[in-house]
Chains A and B, each alone.
Chain A
Amino acid sequence: MKKQNTFIVAAAVTAAMIAAFWLLLVAPGYTGNEINMTRGVTDQSEINYQLHMIVLWICVVIGVIVFSAMFVSIVLHRKSKDHEAAQFTHSTKAEIIWTIIPVLILIVMAVPATTALIHMEVAPETEMTVKITGFQWRWKYEYVEDGIQFISSLDAESNAARRLASGAEPAAVDNYLLEVDKPLVLPAETKIKFLITADDVIHSWWVPALGWKRDAVPGFINEAWTEIREPGIYRGQCAELCGKDHGFMPIVLKVLPKAEFDQWVRQQKRLMAHEEAEVERLWSREELMDLGKSVYTAQCATCHQGDGQGLAPAFPPLAGSTVTRGPVSEHIDLVLNGREGTAMQAWGNMLSDADIAAALTYTRNAFGNDMGDVVQPQMIARIKNG
């Protein structure tokens, strides 16, 4: 008798616990962002949310039916209650029923699932195109029609706080790990096509509020599309394991009303024109070192480390390296074209000429390399253009 009671109590506790979890999940008050799938700001995300809820409920109902039947028999059909075991071995009728009914349920699920998938995958006429390139461990965005391009990486504050035993309190950092230096700026209520690819390994571009993720596969371009309803800030992350800093490769969307977006585009174009002019002039050593330091910290330090000592065994030190202390032309060549088959990628198409010149100048002179020479943006431009 005692044993039996313990069992019933324990069973009830487990059952209650599982039920409580499920209830938490489906209770209306908890459908917020923190515990359930986001409803997002696109048709796609809304459709997926609805579909998710439908399927979830179907599963909950099936679970409840199956488990109730089981628990009824556990409570009633036990030896301690002197229940005699029946000896039936099968029932063709029952077996046919519980083959057919699940098939019907599946068909009911498959219909909305099919239309949803078609909606996701078949893009309408789009109004603008953004090319997204993932590389270890940031995103490069190119506005195909407007020629704007930039790299977006984890912002400095999160980046400092996330170091092992940094002592920083994550909660004290705004949007810890979900903040970038330059967000992807997009217009609301515009049909946008994304061309997604990668430079080194596979990444996956995911902003939950848009309702999908798409893998960025090196050498191939995957297409996706969106139309965002509301302006706002939306955050996401790389969703395919891509190496040591996979967890530190956030995505931030800044969605502006159309008019503001156009303004932003004009401003970016002015900046670009300015930059082009800058390439032509001769830069001072200090200017190059200053810019170089910031480029180095933002782009190179993840691998080669802030102090240029690298991270053995994968990432070589730049301090005292035969390349940084070697002939300029080879140094430029390496950084522009990267090294095939290693994590050292080709930076030629990633950074502006001034950035590259500055980073080279900086690495040739910092960390005790003291080569004393400077690399001018002009040189880079000339080499790039053959």
Chain B
Amino acid sequence: MAHQADNSYYIPHGTKWPIIGSLGLITMLSSAAFWVNDSEIAPWTFVAGVLILIFMLFGWFGEVIRESESGMYNAQVDTSFRMGMMWFIFSEVMFFAVFFGALFYARMFAVPWLGGEGTGAFTNELLWQGYEGVWPTAGPDDLGGQFQTIPAFGVPFINTLILLSSGLTVTLAHHALRNNDRTKLVIWLIATVVLGFSFVYLQIEEYKEAYQHLGLTLGSGIYGSTFFMLTGFHGMHVTLGAIMLTVIAIRSMRGHFKSDSHFGFEAVAWYWHFVDVVWLGLFIFVYVY
């Protein structure tokens, strides 16, 4: 098989996972569409779609992991994976950028205009008389009613500390892996997972507080919209990241990853740092400032 030695780049032949993924995706999304239109069975088919997707992810990644562990990938394949992950994270950055953009736009342009600043004088006088246009706001019509905001230096600050230290622990785990110190690797990874899920737990508590006591909901005008959209998508990413960290932790316990080659680990770590950085932006622009 001389020709194969030349073709060192591993090219899988045939894969059924993508089409399963597409079926999962279409099941999930079309169910979601039926769901918002009040279909009764849609929630169930939605869950079915999610399960198919999860099945696909496990199957697909499982296959890749097996191939990787049996040494089928060379350095070039590794680079492809790395690039893939980096650009994927870049696309996620752009996704969050939209919601930050919406926040800045609302605060810098829309709300002041409605409040009559600059060229908005007539808008305020004729359409929204008496509206002050100060942030935080539920808009001139006070959609969703009165609300209070969540003080930055309570739970959000604790969450900031949690995420920052989880960034540290995952880095420590990485060092341990590079030094081939498996025990430390597993310990630091578990610490990261615990921190990650504590963040999620605290955020859920915070949401409960917002809905039950502060009157702050998704419907609380532009403040509620941007607040929940940003923190919500971030929270979903933290949850996903924490699950991925769990998988990595389990793989580490099983002895996966080599000290000099561990793309799977690094990909998750990058993702985690990305989630971390987004949170810093959130903390500053949503809570503090």
* Residue ranges of A at the interface with B (Cβ–Cβ < 8 Å): 131, 195, 197, 219-221, 223
Contacts and interface: CB of A to CB of B under 8 A. Distances in A.
B114 A195 contact: no
Interface stretch (B20-28, B76-84, B118-126, B203-211): B118-126
The 10 A-B residue pairs with the shortest CB-CB distance, nearest first, are: A221-B123, A221-B122, A220-B123, A195-B122, A221-B126, A221-B127, A219-B127, A220-B113, A223-B122, A197-B127
18 contacts: A131-B126, A195-B122, A195-B126, A197-B126, A197-B127, A219-B114, A219-B123, A219-B127, A219-B128, A220-B113, A220-B114, A220-B123, A220-B127, A221-B120, A221-B123, A221-B126, A221-B127, A223-B122
Contacts of A223: 119, 122
A221 B118 CA distance: 12
Interface of B: 113-114, 119-120, 122-123, 126-128
A125 to B, nearest CB: 15
A241 to B, nearest CB: 22
Contacts of A131: 126
A57 B119 CA distance: 36
Contacts of B126: 131, 195, 197, 221
A223 B113 CA distance: 13
A197 B114 CA distance: 13
Nearest to A193: B122
A219 B128 CA distance: 8
A201 B114 CA distance: 17
Nearest to B119: A223
Contacts of B113: 220
Contacts of B120: 220-221
B128 to A, nearest CB: 8
A355 to B, nearest CB: 22
B94 to A, nearest CB: 26
A206 to B, nearest CB: 20
Contacts of A220: 113-114, 120, 123, 127
Nearest to A219: B127
B54 to A, nearest CB: 36
A220 B117 CA distance: 12
A220 B126 CA distance: 9
A258 B8 CA distance: 86
A221 B128 CA distance: 11
Contacts of B128: 219
Given A221-B120, A221-B122, A221-B127, 13 more contacts: A131-B126, A195-B122, A195-B126, A197-B126, A197-B127, A219-B114, A219-B123, A219-B127, A220-B114, A220-B127, A221-B123, A223-B119, A223-B122
Contacts of A221: 120, 122-123, 126-127
A283 to B, nearest CB: 32
Contacts of A195: 122, 126
Q: Which of B120, B122, B123, B126 has the most CB of A within 10 A?
A: B122
Nearest to A129: B122
A73 to B, nearest CB: 41
A230 B184 CA distance: 87
Contacts of A219: 114, 123, 127-128
A173 B126 CA distance: 39
B138 to A, nearest CB: 14
A197 B120 CA distance: 12
